Structure formats: structure tokens, C-alpha cells
Structure 1
């Protein structure tokens, strides 16, 4: 089960990079173009929520902390977790946090795009999953 981990500063300009990485992993896993758009939208929303809700503000003003995105692909599909972390990579929230509980419209959008979604363990982050159906495979997997 190949895993890709991307950690980035909670800045809006990094959400695009996270979407690009997620689509690249999904494409390599064999998802078709129709599902890549759904993955792009859901990952963008999850990372944007983490950026908006996970940044710790310092007295000087700039945001500190990290957003941790992990993508695991196997022969059955793609699992993604997005968690808000402190500067050391430790989750900010123990239990349901703002990433998993606020903005029901955003949660509904992600739930509609992913095959399954929910809270990522006790970290308060989000977990999104897509299953690869036999008709989705677009070719050999390149590693």
C-alpha cells in the first residue's frame, strides 16, 4: 500500500499543490478522469478547511502550524486523511475538532464526492475514501 505524505503550512496557496498531489496519486492508482474531478474537489475542500481552521496565530501575525495530508492507494482504492497539526507535526485537536464538525454544507459536499467520509481517528481531521471499480482502471500502475 503506497503512501504519500504531504505536510504544508496552513496557507491558501498550498491547497492547489495538495490537490495536484492528490490527483497525481489517484491517477497512478488507476482512477478515471470522471472520478479525478471529484477527488480534486473533495481534497481541495478538506485542505481549505484545514488551512482556514488549523492555523495558529502568533503575536507577530503569520500563521504557524502544519496541515498533514496522507494518501494511501492500494488495488482497491484511495484513502486520504487531512489533519491540522502543530509545528512539530502533532495533531492540534484530540477529539472532534473544527475540521470535522463545522460547516455542514462543506461536509455534505465532501461526502457527496467521496465514497465514504468521516473523522480521522481521534485527531479531529477528515478521512475520505474512494473505491476503484473494475471499470475505472485505466492502465498499468506506474511506481
Structure 2
């Protein structure tokens, strides 16, 4: 199992870099070329969400992205350190959300769920994590 860890300041301009790195590592891991755009979009959405949560909460900690290459799958975990309020089974932006950030948060999660078949979202008072997984195909065996 190989893992690449990426940490970046919670600034929107770093999201593009995270997308590019994720796509490059996914390609090397054996994720199908046809799915790489979905990987880029999903990672961009998850990272943008984490950046927004950090900015709203005034959190200076970096956003953390893990790119995990396993035998038959490739996973990306995007973590934030923003405290999440969990109400009605959904994950909200925080208690007393007058500006509608929870709606925007739910929209971002819906986009990710539409792009990725295997998504796990967890959140609590110490932060949240979005784990996205794609199948990989092993490189072809060359017979000599």
C-alpha cells in the first residue's frame, strides 16, 4: 500500500494543485482514464468544501488530503478540522447557520455523491472526513 499525503493552507488557490496531484497519483495507481475527470472534480469539490469550512470557522490548520493506493482500489481522503453540527442525519456547517452555509455544504456533498460511487462522509466536533474510492485495474502483464 502506498500513500501520498498532501497538506495545504485553507486557501481556494490551492484546490487546483490538489486536483492535479490527485489525478496524477490516480492515473499512476491504475484508475481508468475515463474516470480521471470525475476524480479531479470530486477532489476539487471536497477540497473546496474543506477550505470553506476552515475559512468560516477561522481555522488556521491545513486541509489534509491522503491519496491511498491499494491492490485493487485507490482512495482519496479529504479531512478538515472544522467542528460539525450533526442534525437530522445530515452534516451542517455549524450551529446557528444564518447564512445558509449548511445548504451549500449539502450541495457539495450531493455533487461528490453524484461523481463517486463509493463515498463515506464522517463528521464530528473535531472535524470531518470525506473518503472516496475508485477501483483500479492492474497493469497488463507482458509475456516475453
Scaled to the shorter chain, the TM-score interval is 0.7 to 0.9
Residue in 2 aligned with 1:129? Answer: 133
Residue in 2 aligned with 1:93? Answer: 83
Q: Could you say what secondary structure the match of 1:37 adopts?
A: helix
Structure 1 range deviating more: 44-53 or 30-39: 30-39
RMSD over equivalenced CA pairs, Å: 2.5
| TM-score for the superposition, normalised by structure 2 | 0.74
Counterpart contact for 2:31–2:134, Cα < 8 Å: no
1:47: Cα distance to partner?
0.1
| TM-score for the superposition, normalised by structure 1 | 0.74
For residues 104-119 of structure 1, what are the structure 2 equivalents within 5 Å? Answer: 104-119=106-121
Q: Could you say what secondary structure the match of 1:47 adopts?
A: helix
Q: Could you say what secondary structure the match of 2:31 adopts?
A: coil
Counterpart contact for 1:31–1:138, Cα < 8 Å: no
1:73: Cα distance to partner?
1.0
State how far apart, in whole Å, the 2-side matches of 1:95 and 1:104 are.
13
Computing the radius of gyration from Cα coordinates, the structure with the larger value is: 2
Q: Could you say what secondary structure the match of 2:6 adopts?
A: strand
Q: Give the unaligned 5+ runs of structure 1.
A: 58-62, 86-91
Residue in 1 aligned with 2:9? Answer: 9
Aligned residue pairs total 125
Q: Could you say what secondary structure the match of 2:41 adopts?
A: helix
State how far apart, in whole Å, the 1-side matches of 2:14 and 2:4 are.
16
State how far apart, in whole Å, the 2-side matches of 1:54 and 1:139 are.
42
1:75: Cα distance to partner?
2.1
Structure 2 vs 1, CA of residues 104 and 94 (structure 1 numbering), >3 Å: closer, same or farther? closer
